[in-house]
Amino acid sequence: MRLPIYIPVLPAQKYSCHGCGSCCRDFTVQLGEADLQKLHEQGWKERLGQEYVVKFRGHSWLKQTDDGACVFLGDNGLCKVHAEFGLEAKPLACQFFPFMLSPNVRDTHVGISFACGSVIASKGADLQSHRGDVRRMSELLPASTPVPVKLQDKLIASEAEVSMVEAALDVWMSKKNISPAMRYQGLAWLITSLLRANLANVRGEKLRQLLSTLTDAVEHELPLLDWPAPTPRAWKLLRQAVFTRIEDPKIGDLLKRGKVASVLGQLSRSRKWGAGKGISPQTAGFLSIDFARFESTVGVFANQFAGDGAPDNALAKNVAPTHPLDGASGAAMSQQQDQAAMDDLLQRWIRATILGGRAWGSGLYGLPIDQGLGLILVNLLTALWLARFHAAGAGAKSASLLDLQVAVGRVDRTSGRAVWLATAGERLRVKWLSHSDSLRLLVRALV
């Protein structure tokens, strides 16, 4: 039996491959038996004159060159396997990217990776237009049976309950006429409330009522809450979370350095990130800078125009606005466009993550809904932090759309892929941040 395919309805999110080749760099691609067989039959060892598979921890991976590129990436920026034998000759993971299929209670949800430049920029065709390709990909996988989703701990969620949570968060995320600050602080408050609730007592219709009460109350509640600055411990845990999301070690490097040296190096870098003092360790895509420079940047939406008002959605779509910005200076206009586009990017990312099945269950390490949402919130915090860090590296005082695109791309590269994000240590970090109310305080400090 094949589960039906569910592609989220997100008109603002487009995608078509523009052949930038960025997914052929920097990604470690695991190979299955069928992939190995296919590549072997294509005779690549003789064609390349070198080995193209590397063995690591009992699995087979595509070999990478010293600069992190796939061994099959040609000088023209195109995949040699694709050029020679066509799309279906490539390993499955390469054919699927940026789509990610997650079997759920009732269907296979289709998520998309924001590590893809076209997805980040929302360039190309509607997601629904890829249905035929996605269907073909799903048929390459063994037929999947429904995968139960847990609501909290061992509580199995009903199909209706999963849909309720998806819908409630999606309604909040796509709400019009609220500021980005309200949108993301509200999201943090909603998720923290769910993480703290005993959901065993709130099943079925009661869960629907709870979600509706919470989403109705957000805008009234937020101004009534205390908003002390996050504690040093909260900042430290967030910097450690940043480290775990941007550290994506290359298998070739690990093999060259040896296990002990690699683990010690990782520990040392993790400590430096946690301490947040001195020059940051070298990290792909980010300059090494004095951590203190982060402090000189302002929140991602701190320069928001019109006070706490909502950005004009037309700006995010590059449509020339007629109001309320008539008469605004070029610089102010560009900043306003950037901020509207940044809100648009974060909305697309979070909505596509939740509706695409990447926020819990088989799309996120088998986590229950509450813990998965906590992890997604930490991903958001990490992206906001990294956007400012990237801006600081360029000597800017505030993050631009490009800084946020780099940050989201980097964070989404590891989400659901990096096994270390599924450890008990990461779960404890999320638990401490939510129970100390630090998740919402950090969001406030970073937006």
Pick 130 or 440: Cβ nearer ligand SF4: 130
Place of tokens 């970090």: 429
Cβ partners under 8 Å of residue 131, min gap 6: 5, 7
Cβ partners under 8 Å of residue 353, min gap 6: 111, 359, 376, 415
Q: Residue 101 gets which letter from DSSP?
A: E
Binding flag, residue 118, ligand SF4 (CB under 6 A): yes
CA 6 to chain centre: 19
Binding residues among 29-68 for ligand SF4 as defined by CB under 6 A = none
Measured CA to CA, the distance from residue 282 to residue 288 in angstroms comes to: 5
Pick 116 or 234: Cβ nearer ligand SF4: 116
Pick 23 or 369: Cβ nearer ligand SF4: 23
Binding flag, residue 69, ligand SF4 (CB under 6 A): no
The token duo for 361 is: 């269950």
Binding flag, residue 20, ligand SF4 (CB under 6 A): yes
Say if strands 53-56 and 59-62 run parallel, antiparallel, or are unpaired.
antiparallel
Binding flag, residue 111, ligand SF4 (CB under 6 A): no
| Tally of CB atoms within 10 A around 89 | 17
Binding flag, residue 446, ligand SF4 (CB under 6 A): no
- Which residues make beta-bridge pairs with 121? none
Smallest distance, Å, CB 124 to ligand SF4? 8
Binding flag, residue 103, ligand SF4 (CB under 6 A): no
Binding flag, residue 17, ligand SF4 (CB under 6 A): yes
Smallest distance, Å, CB 130 to ligand SF4? 12
Binding flag, residue 285, ligand SF4 (CB under 6 A): no
Measured CA to CA, the distance from residue 344 to residue 118 in angstroms comes to: 15
Measured CA to CA, the distance from residue 10 to residue 31 in angstroms comes to: 31
Q: Which stretch binds ligand SF4 (CB under 6 A): 110-118, 281-289, 354-362, 365-373?
A: 110-118
Q: Which stretch binds ligand SF4 (CB under 6 A): 15-23, 144-152, 181-189, 203-211?
A: 15-23
Binding flag, residue 148, ligand SF4 (CB under 6 A): no
Which positions lie near ligand SF4, rule CB under 6 A?
17-23, 97-98, 116-118
